[in-house]
A and B are shown apart, each in its own frame.
Chain A
Amino acid sequence: MTQNKTYIQSYIIIQNNEIVLNGTSVFKIEPTDFADFSKQALRNFEIQYPKFFKMDALSKLAFLGSELLLSPIVSSEEENNIALVLANKSSSLDTDVKYQESISDKENYYPSPAVFVYTLPNICLGEISIRHQLKSENSFFIFDAFNAEFMSNYSNILLNSDKADKVLCGWVEYFNEDYKAFLCVIGKEEIEKYRDENINTLYNK
């Protein structure tokens, strides 16, 4: 497999009621809960997408991050071979716990299919794929902490084996109002601005 150098094209960090895009704070509000924060962010960027309100928090987080990175580069005219490679620590546990509560009490037993479907971490990849019509490689990984080495290696494999033209790669962690998203687009074109950065240095910014 040819090992060409790959480059970070853009990145985003969402945490503590703030969205930082390519190093610049683009949205920040007073402390509030995630549902409110994500709704306000959606309004702020004038994103019209009613399906957003049906998503669980993990999907909302991944959706928001990917929206700002992908919208400028996805073309509606042609196919976009952008792979999705995301990971986290808590999988879909935030929704798992909620779903478990709905079946634990036999007096109040109400398993909902609309909740159950979000008890899989890769559903957020499906949401992003649908939004941007990405018929591309996608995989969700779990690690105890952000594994920059693996994520960057795996993205490079997809690029170098021509399984993808670009990779949206990153960390989307959500559990019980604790959240952090770090997403970046990796491609083969050299981008001067991030030449000396790697996904680990950017994640820790």
Chain B
Amino acid sequence: MEKESWVVEIKHEFHKLAPIKNKIIRTHFLQGFQNLVGIIKLKNLNLQGFGNLAGEIGNHKMSKEIYINETNCITPLGFDVESNIEAILRGDSGIQLHSDISLMPNSFYASIISDEKINRTFSKISSETKYSRLEKMMILALAPIIKNSGVELNSKTAFILSTTKGNVTALRENSEENFNNAHLDVLAKNVANFFRFTTQPIVVSNACVSGILAVSVAKRMIQSELYDNVFVAAGDEVSEFVLSGFNAFQAMSELPCKPYSKNRTGVSLGEATSAVLVSAEAKNSKIKVIGDSSINDANHISGPSRTGEGLFRSIQNALKEAKIEANKLDYISAHGTATPFNDEMEAIAFSRLDLQNVPINSLKGFYGHTLGASGLLETVIAIESANRNMLFESKGFDEIGVSEVVNVIEKNEEANIEYFLKTASGFGGCNTAVVFEKVK
């Protein structure tokens, strides 16, 4: 058909829609016109006078399907996903005993990346010396996925950086320059400019849910058609600042952390960066993101709700959006910080949702608690779990130490994983749950 006749006939259809005021009938028509909008774009038709209407129809599109297409992570266990998975399968942990009085007066367990390895690896991609340690770690996480993806960093490509404390170590030495560098927008700009992103970076700083919340923010922005692709990077460092803080809370474990175990006494801190590409493009996708929610406990700023209310509701909402029942979940990558209250709260929330038999792990035994990075890092590992049909052990676990039944994964085992859930909870009463589906 000639262009003109397409235009004539589509306009004829649009004329029917124009006068319809009733919302329900209008919605019916809008849905019916989805294909026409595709044709208008495809054939580059000029529908003079109907631009707004075409826009309305375009915007009405049913929620786009969202995927994660690229993943990477920089951790003490390895500087790419493959080496991390190999280490996990071997049962290696990044948590080691450290004696460094510039970090803590006493020796402590933490999962720390060697400076030498960061600098050596960074020097292979850039000779610039102006970047902070965390910036180098973030750039190293992002560089290969930006390259592999082939995605153009244009106005439809966003960059989200998530972190809790960013370059807080800059505050150790009091100077105007250091103070400026401690700003999270400056950190984001430094990383964004390295890659020449053309859109303004978005920083998500929502305590320990930051990394996974950033995936959810990316999904939402793509579904509302603001962007086609969103690169998400998450990272946090082990610093004197956070070590002393968790220690002041008496939340640090004297031994490597033991999530969900009877003898757990608190967290081991860790550091890592991780990066993913969230996209509407199904080609080359690793996993589909099908539901998400972040609900506050409205209970306490530094302790989780006793009933797990916020987490319970977050999971419930995420499952509802995903349109699956709780019993469809094959695996939960939980938060499991190994503090007595957090793990107990999670067990209660999972039990309220009848998730007590779903295999669950916390990866904190491998990486420590990497704060704002944890949600994204653990998602990257969980995606591998799903695609390899392999449940990874919840390292550090021995004897169950929560009041509700939870099915903690004790050793690596094969299992079919179609759907999995990632959760995180943090200070300020925040919780995030995201449901993923394996791409068929």
Q: Which residues of A contact B (CB under 8 A)?
A: 1-3, 84, 89-91, 93, 96-97, 99-100, 103-104, 109, 111-113, 116-117, 119-123, 125-127, 129-130, 132-144, 147, 150, 153-154, 156-158, 160-161, 163
Contacts and interface: CB of A to CB of B under 8 A. Distances in A.
Contacts of B426: 120, 122
B204 A161 contact: no
Contacts of A109: 105
A6 B427 CA distance: 31
Which of A109, A126, A130 is the most central at the interface, judged by chain B CB atoms within 10 Å of its CB? A126
Contacts of B429: 126, 129-130
B213 A3 contact: no
B302 A143 contact: no
B187 to A, nearest CB: 9
A2 B27 CA distance: 9
A103 B225 CA distance: 46
Contacts of B166: 91
A2 B59 contact: yes
Interface of B: 27, 56, 59-61, 63-64, 105, 164-166, 168, 171-172, 179, 182-186, 188-189, 200, 202-207, 213, 217, 220-221, 223-226, 240-241, 244-245, 247-249, 293-302, 309-310, 313, 317, 426-430
Given A1-B64, A91-B166, A140-B204, 18 more contacts: A3-B224, A91-B184, A96-B171, A99-B245, A111-B247, A113-B248, A119-B241, A120-B164, A126-B301, A132-B298, A137-B293, A138-B295, A139-B204, A139-B217, A142-B188, A143-B202, A154-B220, A157-B224
Contact of B183 (A3, A91, A111, A157): A91
Given A93-B183, A139-B213, A153 B226 contact: yes
Contact of A119 (B224, B245, B294, B295): B245
Contacts, number: 173
B407 to A, nearest CB: 27
B221 A153 contact: yes
Contacts of B301: 117, 123, 126-127, 130
Contacts of B184: 91, 142
A4 B172 CA distance: 48
A122 B206 contact: yes
Nearest to A104: B172
A141 B204 contact: yes
B245 A113 contact: yes
Contacts of B186: 144
6 closest A-B pairs by CB: A126-B428, A116-B245, A142-B203, A3-B59, A129-B298, A129-B296
A160 B63 CA distance: 11
Given A99-B241, A157-B224, A147 B200 contact: yes
Given A1-B61, A126-B429, A161-B220, A103 B240 contact: yes
15 contacts: A96-B182, A97-B179, A99-B245, A100-B241, A120-B205, A120-B427, A120-B428, A126-B297, A126-B298, A126-B301, A139-B217, A142-B188, A153-B221, A153-B226, A161-B223
B205 A122 contact: yes
B207 A156 contact: no
The prevalent SS among residues of A at the interface is: mixed
Given A89-B183, A89-B185, A111-B248, A136 B296 contact: yes
Contact of B223 (A1, A113, A136): A1
Contact of B296 (A1, A99, A125, A160): A125
A154 B203 CA distance: 13
A3 to B, nearest CB: 4
Contacts of A142: 183-185, 188, 203, 205
B435 to A, nearest CB: 14
A126 B247 contact: no
Nearest to B428: A126
B428 A125 contact: yes
Contacts of A135: 295-298, 309-310, 313
Contacts of A147: 200
Contact of B430 (A138, A153, A154): A138
Contacts of A104: 172
A133 B183 CA distance: 31
A119 B30 CA distance: 47
B183 A90 contact: yes
A154 B207 CA distance: 19
Contact of B206 (A93, A96, A139, A144): A139
A150 B245 CA distance: 32
A111 B294 contact: no
A97 B294 contact: no
Contacts of B183: 89-91, 93, 142, 144
Given A93-B183, A116-B245, A144-B189, A1 B298 contact: no
B289 to A, nearest CB: 14
A20 to B, nearest CB: 26
A167 to B, nearest CB: 13
A123 B428 contact: yes
B293 A157 contact: no
A156 to B, nearest CB: 7
B137 to A, nearest CB: 19
A113 B248 CA distance: 5
Contact of B302 (A91, A117, A133, A161): A117
Nearest to A118: B301
A129 B297 contact: yes
A120 to B, nearest CB: 5
A2 B430 CA distance: 27
A144 B427 CA distance: 24
Contacts of A157: 220-221, 223-224
A126 B149 CA distance: 37
A141 B205 contact: yes
A130 B298 contact: yes
Contact of A120 (B207, B225, B313, B317): B207
